[in-house]
Structure 1
Amino acid sequence: MALLTPLFAFLYHLPLVYKWLLKPYYIASLFMSLAFLMIRKTPGICEHLSSTREDGNSCDFDWREVEILMFLSAIVMLKNRRAITVEQHVGNIILFSKVANVFLFFRLDIRMGLLYLTLCIVFLMTCKPPLYMGPEYIKYFNDKTIDEELEKDSRVTWIVEFFANWSPECQSFAAVYADLSLKYSCAGLKFGKVDIGRYGDVSKKYKVSTSPLSKQLPSLVLFQGGKEVMRRPQVDKKGRAVSWSFTEENIIREFNMNELYQMSKKLSKSKGDKSEKANESQFPPVPEEEEPEAEANAQEVETESKKDK
């Protein structure tokens, strides 16, 4: 069952995976990840490559290349144990495949290694992974609006994600955070995001480091009454983030999302009742006007009685 459950989940989401993988960024990344394999196995090209095999077959892997590929598989398996989304799984495979290809190409020919390394650098600088564009109930802050929104209403609880567009972890977490905002957003509980890779002052003020070594991206911070209550991941005395997995289950449990949502809903209802009462007190009911026909009939009755007298 442990193997069948993820298999069925993958098959269920297969149409979405295909649609996602057919984007230009992932198509180019796939070709770069398989570059050494294609060159080593393509007839007409592999015959001209050097090989240390005893049989002299240059169209097959030698023992050192097999060791590098096995080491690559082990690293990918270890990294994917902590991956929580398909994007993270695929991203780990692509990243470490490129690193392995650099070593393989340099070992094969230094000129091919330099060429492949240059292509990787150019690709990294010019191509960015596609951003999440799905539905969400998230307000995006900048360096001027974040303080104003957090302090605007002390009764509103905010969950704010501090992220950077260049961070693969933030890109993978985007879909999870958007799904949480769709499930738990209400008048008393709101979700926000701020790009601290773009707004450095926000990063310094809220003490979220953008350094890849600190591993603080993404960071989720819970604000109540405009003040920080908790954050994940936590940061130790050395300024490094304590290891924490950004799964939807972990966030719901650590932030008490269900209780927080129920409390926020009650708060929003009480706010609505108070506002209705305030409106009623400000605008008292207008007295009913007498109909003009009734007034005319009353006047006629009075004149007839005078005539009788």
Structure 2
Amino acid sequence: MAVVTFEELKSLLHPHYIVNIILAALFVVLRLVQPFCSLLFLTDSCELDFRETEILTFLAVIVLFRTRKTGVTRLVPYISTACMYAKVANILLFFYNDPRMGILYIVICLVQMMVLPEPSFKGVDHVIYFNETDLDEEIQRDKRVVWLVTFYAVWSPSSVNFAPVFSELASKYTLDNLKFGKIDVTRFPKVAEAHHISTSTLTRQLPTVIMFKGGKPIRRRPTVDSNSKLIRFAFTPENVINAFDLNNVHKECKENPIKKKKQSGDEVKKKDE
């Protein structure tokens, strides 16, 4: 079930989501409402036929299955997923009635994708992006720093849905000794292999979040049970905060800040000169 927050309801007022919902519902509205149904579909009855009802029912099943499988628990990702599959169904339905309408609908969807892309996280991005070499170097460079690192893939719906959540957490909890990072395991598969993360298209290990303390991994989600079976994890803000004990880790890091080295008198004079 999708979690509804006031902030997410506000975000739905963005033109991207408004147009997305309109496009997702377009076929049903045009097919059932006069005068559109008579003008566009050349029929006297504004009703769905058996094949159209069948396609829409199949769409509902797919949306429920996919959102359950990917662990979508928030409103905006839920609506985005539903709209994506609804637009695919609309393409089939428009082509079923008139190929010209199907082509026009595809063009409109492409224009919407280019002109009104999905809004990204607004605010200062405190997330550091790593490559294959600098991840381990940065973690080992100063072992007083606690790192929370997300291993993700751009093609993974769960990774995409988790991205704004991770950015919000980074914005809230980042300190000099508590930092947040991300690495794309599609581009750097050796990193995924080193941390025992599967990158196959059927994997349920993306995203994987690992906390490093003292230069070593101490917690990760999702994890496995005693039978090496993956334990599913819903990447909501509350679950991540609880799983990694972020409130206490943040408090501990805040009470023990990294002390900056005091500059000697000679160094200060050199800078002044």
Scaled by the length of structure 1, the TM-score of the pair is 0.66
Paired with 1:261 and 1:171, the residues of 2 have a C-alpha distance of: 25
Paired with 2:245 and 2:89, the residues of 1 have a C-alpha distance of: 42
Scaled by the length of structure 2, the TM-score of the pair is 0.74
- Quote the residue 1:45 is aligned against: 40
The structure showing larger relative contact order (alpha-carbon pairs under 8 Å, at least 6 residues apart) is 2
Alignment check: 8 A CA contact 1:160 1:221 kept: yes
Q: Does 1:97 align with 2:92?
A: no
SS at match of 1:134: coil
The structure having more radius of gyration, on CA atoms, is 1
Q: Does 1:267 align with 2:262?
A: no
Q: 1:87 to 1:135 in 2, by over 3 A?
A: farther
Deviations 1:118-169 (A, max 9, x none): 879989x989745434333221112222121011011211100112233332
List 4+ stretches of structure 1 deviating above 6 A: 116-123, 125-128, 236-240
- Quote the residue 2:24 is aligned against: 33
Please tell me the root mean square deviation across aligned C-alpha atoms, in Å: 4.0
- Quote the residue 1:250 is aligned against: 239
- Quote the residue 2:13 is aligned against: 18
Deviations 1:29-76 (A, max 9, x none): 54653353255342312116xxxxxxxx55311245335434534554
Counterpart residue type for residue 45 of structure 1: L
- Quote the residue 2:270 is aligned against: none
- Quote the residue 2:59 is aligned against: 72
Counterpart residue type for residue 13 of structure 2: Y
1:1-309 alignment runs, 5 A limit: 6=4, 9-10=5-6, 13-19=8-14, 22-23=15-16, 29-30=20-21, 32-38=23-29, 40-41=31-32, 42=36, 43-47=38-42, 57=44, 59-73=46-60, 75-77=62-64, 82-101=71-90, 104=93, 108=96, 129-235=118-224, 241-268=230-257, 271-272=258-259, 275=261
Counterpart residue type for residue 175 of structure 1: P
Alignment check: 8 A CA contact 2:12 2:18 kept: no
Q: 1:110 to 1:87 in 2, by over 3 A?
A: same
- Give the C-alpha shift of residue 267 in structure 1: 2.8
Between 1:259-268 and 1:196-205, the stretch displaced more is 196-205
SS at match of 1:192: strand
Deviations 1:92-128 (A, max 9, x none): 211331343465457x3696799699879989x9897
Structure 2 segments unaligned to the other structure (5+ residues): 267-273
